[in-house]
């Protein structure tokens, strides 16, 4: 049978980094209990958090909320009462000047960005436009989005090296130019994979550039503030009508509900809701319904600050320390400053094999990581650095993380010695 696909279909349905990552993650999770899962972005099973979701579901089953959440279609932009509650929450906790019209519910952050990139990147009457990534490495899941080829143009970062085998990426503002073919600026904060957090000064510079050029600044806060709080430096969430903010319930421990929220000017929230009707009919209701009561007081902020942040921050500190202990003196390496998210970003400076081969070797030794080259997309030229990095997730059990880090260090020491 003739199975040729359209150009857009071919782009979206071919092998991709995110598909390989999710396939690896999901297959290992369902099929290979011995695999050490340091690959995906799966949140940790935090018992105190799981208990809250279980209690909410039981309450919903008892009081009729569950019947309504399972059995009805809500409007394509989300449940109207949830949107009101969420806007109240943002006004109260973040001081943002938003109403329910600035809030739209989406079936996960990934889908929200697919919609946004489809709206903004690609062919239009006045020519094609692209999304500017002011800094890479950036989230692997964006790379194959956008319907046209080359949806992104990315800037190589500056690298600050610090004492103790630590480095930090910084935006190279001197080279950052907003040309007329740029439709939007986009970055994740904390950054997946590096754990980088753009500081207030640099964020303000990006906001000014966006406003000056009449384009939106998209900020993916899936790991950050106001929730789930996996951010370990001072950082205040800001919003204005030039910003498109993405928040997600996934890293609160609810990825299985596929629920995210976009906060933006009404022209974007309206377009997203309309698009969601055509592409998905409606959102899943469970995530919205589970979280609703926690939006009313400050309990979601409390949960983020007193449970989730300390949990991941402790894991970050312990994983970083263990990896330094295992690698120091055995390879020329640096770890990215761990300012947020669930990942260690490891740079092996003279790695004699590409990171993709290191990934394969580690997988054979039952350690799943993500090779760095996936995260450096949109660059105009190849860069040796992208083949020298791997992303290591530390959200899973301490035992799996520690064993995994020891195997990673051992493998790197071996290949570096041979090289």
| Binding to its own copies, residues 145-184 (CB under 8 A) | 145, 147
274 lies in the site for its own copies, by CB under 8 A: yes
Q: What are phi and psi of 407, to 5 degrees?
A: -70, -40
Between 32 and 332, whose beta carbon lies closer to its own copies?
Answer: 32
356 lies in the site for its own copies, by CB under 8 A: no
Candidates 88, 93, 118, 313: give the one binding its own copies (CB under 8 A): 118
Distance CA 362, CA 339 (A): 26
DSSP per residue, 267-280: HHHHHHHHHHHHHH
Between 80 and 352, whose beta carbon lies closer to its own copies?
Answer: 80
Query: According to CB under 8 A, which residues from 200 to 239 bind its own copies?
Result: 214-216
Q: Which of 215, 312, 295 is nearest to 259 (CA)?
A: 295
- Cβ atoms 237, 226 nearer than 8 A: yes
Torsion sign across C-alpha atoms 237, 240, 241, 242:
negative
Diameter over CA atoms, the chain: 64
48 lies in the site for its own copies, by CB under 8 A: no
Candidates 93, 119, 361, 366: give the one binding its own copies (CB under 8 A): 119
108 lies in the site for its own copies, by CB under 8 A: yes
Stretch that binds its own copies, among 137-145, 161-169, 336-344, 376-384 (CB under 8 A): 137-145
Q: Which of 408, 400, 337, 397 is nearest to 370 (CA)?
A: 408
Query: According to CB under 8 A, which residues from 240 to 269 bind its own copies?
Result: 241-242, 253-258, 265, 267-268
Q: What are phi and psi of 190, to 5 degrees?
A: -60, 150
Query: According to CB under 8 A, which residues from 56 to 85 bind its own copies?
Result: 57-58, 61, 66-76, 79-81
CB of 74 to its own copies, least distance (A): 5
Stretch that binds its own copies, among 94-102, 103-111, 187-195, 358-366 (CB under 8 A): 103-111
Q: What are phi and psi of 117, to 5 degrees?
A: -70, -35
Between 184 and 331, whose beta carbon lies closer to its own copies?
Answer: 184
Candidates 26, 95, 297, 352: give the one binding its own copies (CB under 8 A): 26
Between 144 and 388, whose beta carbon lies closer to its own copies?
Answer: 144
Q: Which of 240, 229, 181, 248 is nearest to 206 (CA)?
A: 240
Candidates 192, 221, 283, 396: give the one binding its own copies (CB under 8 A): 283
Between 369 and 412, whose beta carbon lies closer to its own copies?
Answer: 369
352 lies in the site for its own copies, by CB under 8 A: no
Candidates 158, 166, 282, 307: give the one binding its own copies (CB under 8 A): 282
CB of 389 to its own copies, least distance (A): 22
Q: Is the peptide bond before 324 cis (omega within 30 degrees of 0)?
A: no
CB of 413 to its own copies, least distance (A): 32
Q: At which residue do the structure tokens 């090779």 appear?
A: 371
Write down the H helix ranges in 259-328.
266-280, 286-296, 299-303, 309-327
Distance CA 132, CA 290 (A): 35
Strand-pairing partners, residue 244, are 218
Distance CA 315, CA 400 (A): 12
45 lies in the site for its own copies, by CB under 8 A: yes
Residue 156: half-sphere exposure toward Cβ, Cα within 13 Å: 9
Stretch that binds its own copies, among 229-237, 273-281, 345-353, 379-387 (CB under 8 A): 273-281
x/- letters, 2..21, toward its own copies (CB under 8 A):
xxxxxxxxx-xxxxx-xx--
């Amino acid at each position: 049978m003739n199975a040729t696909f359209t150009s857009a279909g071919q782009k979206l349905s071919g092998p991709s980094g995110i598909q390989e990552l999710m396939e690896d993650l999901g297959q290992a999770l369902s099929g290979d209990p011995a695999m050490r899962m340091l690959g995906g972005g799966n949140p940790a099973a935090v018992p105190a958090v799981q208990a809250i979701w279980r209690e909410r579901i039981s309450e919903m089953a008892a009081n009729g909320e569950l019947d309504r959440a399972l059995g009805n279609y809500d409007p394509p932009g989300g449940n109207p009462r949830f949107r009101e509650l969420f806007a109240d929450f943002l006004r109260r906790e973040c001081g943002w000047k938003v109403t329910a019209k600035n809030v739209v519910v989406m079936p996960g952050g990934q889908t929200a960005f697919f919609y946004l990139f489809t709206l903004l990147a690609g062919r239009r009457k006045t020519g094609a436009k692209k999304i500017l990534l002011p800094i890479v490495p950036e989230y692997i899941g964006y790379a194959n989005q956008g319907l046209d080829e080359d949806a992104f143009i990315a800037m190589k970062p500056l690298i600050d090296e610090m004492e103790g085998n630590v480095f930090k990426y910084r935006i190279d503002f001197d080279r950052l130019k907003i040309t007329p073919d740029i439709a939007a600026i986009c970055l994740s904060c904390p950054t997946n994979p590096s754990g980088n957090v753009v500081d207030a000064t640099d964020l303000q510079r990006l906001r000014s550039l966006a406003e000056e050029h009449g384009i939106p600044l998209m900020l993916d806060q899936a790991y950050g503030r106001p929730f789930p709080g996996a951010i370990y430096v001072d950082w205040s969430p800001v919003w204005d009508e030039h910003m498109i903010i993405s928040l997600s319930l996934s890293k609160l421990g609810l990825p299985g509900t596929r629920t995210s929220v976009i906060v933006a000017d009404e022209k974007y929230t309206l377009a997203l809701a309309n698009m969601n009707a055509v592409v998905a009919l409606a959102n899943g209701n469970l995530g919205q319904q589970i979280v609703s009561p926690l939006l009313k007081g400050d309990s979601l902020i409390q949960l983020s600050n007193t449970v989730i942040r300390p949990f991941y921050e402790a894991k970050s500190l312990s994983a970083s320390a263990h990896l330094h202990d295992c690698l120091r003196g055995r390879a020329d390496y640096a770890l990215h400053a761990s300012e947020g998210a669930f990942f260690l970003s490891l740079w092996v400076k003279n790695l004699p094999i590409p990171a993709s081969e290191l990934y394969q070797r580690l997988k054979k030794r039952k350690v799943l990581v993500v090779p760095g080259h996936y995260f450096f997309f949109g660059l105009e030229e190849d860069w040796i650095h992208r083949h020298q990095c791997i992303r290591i997730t530390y959200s899973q059990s301490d035992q799996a993380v520690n064993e995994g880090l020891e195997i990673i260090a051992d493998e790197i020491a071996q290949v570096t010695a041979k090289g």
